[in-house]
Amino acid sequence: MTDFTRERITAIVRLLVMLASAVAGGFGLTVDPDALGTIAACAVALVAGIYGWWKNNNLTKAAQDAQAYLDAVKATYREAE
């Protein structure tokens, strides 16, 4: 991920935290923006971790077959070198 994308995601999370804090304040709830920011950062990290795990594991039969095919092609390519 590029720095530009990280900065953009960070800015969006900060904006959402500020908006959530403002809405909660409008309803008379006291919310610590730092705590809310920490919760949001943990949520983003959790989602990113689950997404990365999902994309890097062959969970379906089709994905396992595709991985076996890819491994066979790579082995053939290495033998040809």
pLDDT tens across 52-68, in order?
A: 888 778 888 998 899 99
Q: How many CB atoms neighbour CB 17 within 10 A? A: 20
Tokens of 51: 């997404």
The parent domain of residue 64 ranges over 3-80
Instruction: Kindly report, residue by residue over 2-42, the tens digit of the pLDDT.
Output: 667 878 888 888 888 888 888 888 888 887 878 877 888 88
Residue 45 and residue 61 in contact, taking contact as beta carbons nearer than 8 Å: no
Residue 5's closest CA among 56, 53, 44?
A: 44
Domain count, the chain: 1
Q: Residue 70: pLDDT above 80?
A: yes
State the pLDDT at residue 34: 82
Q: Burial code of 64-74, b = ≥16 C-beta within 10 A, e = fewer?
A: eeeeeeeeeee
